[in-house]
């Protein structure tokens, strides 16, 4: 396993990390414990979860993933062996949905942060989190595949970034959090978090957890400079684009038990003709080099200097082992040029 430093912290995290958002829908508690055991044995030390998991979030299943991790930690007694991260949900983006999480009004203020954090710690059966992240912004902006900025006013109860940092500072001083991070953020948001941290000696964000894959390289435009100049590391989620970059969904295939065949049947971020064409090109490119398409996709992500870790989500131990093989893949200049040729032809088809 290879490790990289997370931001300016003292944490060295594994270049591949264990995502958990399927645990409770596609994976049982037994499955989750098996994956955690196998990951730890392979040298993976970073485990990422969230209060709203598994996704899609439902009133009868949210928080299940954290509970699975908590029972594993209690059974193994190895909290000191992992770097554990979780997230507070933001306010609901759909008035008809997510009302089960604090009535859909999970603004990043004191009441919600304290409730969310204390709930996560209890379910995870731990006294502290190594990294606590804001799952998405508490303001109106373009996230989760939205290409255009909405030009809409924020909710009147939205917490200002400075207010959020003050509350997180209290939790750090209380020993409940070691470091903080953001997720699904924009360049403007990252700049504001850094500005308020510096101006008022508040905790500094160590990381940003955003999507990054062969189908979505928007992080390179704007945010990657914050990684380079400010030391804000990327925790890349969806590096396999919900498994589409494995090629298993090409030509309309719906493999049994797969994420986009079951719980995410209506999810269409990767279903456009442009995305499908790009996927087919990358799969063909991988196979022409006798590489697994999944390993090609992951190898591209983890070679980027701004990536501290790629968060992989798998539903089987076999998938976990295949993903680990990406650590051995070296992308030569000729192959990188071919990847760039596909990227130039089909530019970021799945933001």
| Residue-level pLDDT at 222 | 93
**Position 224 in a domain:** yes
**Position 351 in a domain:** no
Residue 54: asked if its preceding bond is cis (omega within 30°), the reply is yes
Range of the domain at 138: 3-345
Question: What CATH number should be reported for the domain holding residue 19?
Answer: 3.20.20.100
Helix boundaries (H) for 268-312: 273-288, 293-302
**Position 350 in a domain:** no
| Residue-level pLDDT at 123 | 98
User: CA 237, CA 219: separation in Å to the nearest integer?
Assistant: 11
pLDDT, one tens digit per residue, over 33-81 is 999 999 999 999 999 999 999 999 999 999 999 999 999 999 999 999 9
**331 pLDDT tier (thresholds 50, 70, 90):** very high
Contacts of 173 (CB under 8 A, 6+ apart): none
Mean pLDDT of the region 219-228:
97
**Position 168 in a domain:** yes
Residues with catalytic roles: 53
Domain count, the chain: 1
pLDDT, one tens digit per residue, over 177-213 is 999 999 999 999 999 999 999 999 999 999 999 999 9
pLDDT, one tens digit per residue, over 257-289 is 888 877 787 677 898 999 999 999 999 999 999
Long-range contacts formed by 72-78: CB under 8 A, 24+ apart: 72/32, 72/33, 72/36, 73/124, 73/125, 73/126, 74/125, 75/33, 76/37, 78/40
- pTM of the prediction? 0.97
**Position 55 in a domain:** yes
| Residue-level pLDDT at 269 | 84
**Position 176 in a domain:** yes
């Amino acid at each position: 396993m290879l490790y990289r430093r997370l931001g300016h912290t003292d944490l060295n995290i594994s270049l591949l990390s264990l995502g958990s958002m399927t645990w409770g829908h596609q994976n049982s508690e037994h499955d989750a414990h098996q994956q955690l055991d196998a990951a730890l044995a392979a040298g993976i030390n970073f485990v990422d979860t969230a209060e709203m998991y598994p996704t899609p979030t439902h009133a009868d299943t949210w928080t299940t993933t954290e509970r699975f991790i908590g029972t594993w930690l209690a059974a193994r007694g190895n909290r000191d062996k992992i770097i554990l991260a979780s997230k507070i949900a933001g306010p609901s983006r759909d008035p008809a949905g997510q009302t089960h999480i604090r009535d859909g009004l999970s603004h990043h203020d004191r009441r919600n942060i304290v409730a969310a954090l204390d709930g996560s710690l209890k379910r995870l059966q731990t006294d502290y989190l190594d990294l606590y992240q804001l799952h998405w912004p508490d303001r109106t902006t373009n996230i989760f595949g939205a290409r255009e900025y909405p030009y809409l006013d924020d909710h009147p109860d939205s917490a200002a970034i400075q207010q959020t940092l003050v509350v997180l500072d209290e939790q750090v001083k209380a020993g409940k959090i070691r470091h903080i991070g953001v997720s699904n953020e924009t360049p403007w948001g990252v700049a504001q978090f850094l500005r308020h941290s510096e101006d008022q000696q508040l905790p500094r964000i160590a990381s940003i957890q955003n999507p990054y894959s062969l189908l979505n390289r928007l992080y390179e435009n704007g945010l990657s400079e914050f990684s380079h100049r400010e030391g804000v590391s990327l925790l890349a989620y969806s590096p396999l684009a919900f498994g589409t970059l494995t090629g298993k969904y090409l030509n309309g295939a719906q493999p049994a038990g797969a994420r986009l065949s079951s719980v995410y049947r209506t999810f269409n971020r990767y279903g456009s003709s442009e995305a499908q064409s790009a996927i087919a090109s990358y799969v063909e490119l991988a196979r022409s080099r006798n590489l697994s398409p999944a390993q090609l996709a992951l190898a591209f992500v983890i070679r980027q200097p701004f990536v501290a870790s790629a968060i992989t989500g798998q539903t089987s131990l076999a998938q976990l082992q295949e993903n680990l093989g990406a650590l051995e893949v070296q992308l030569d200049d000729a192959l990188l040029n071919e990847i760039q040729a596909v990227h130039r032809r089909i530019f970021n088809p799945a933001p």
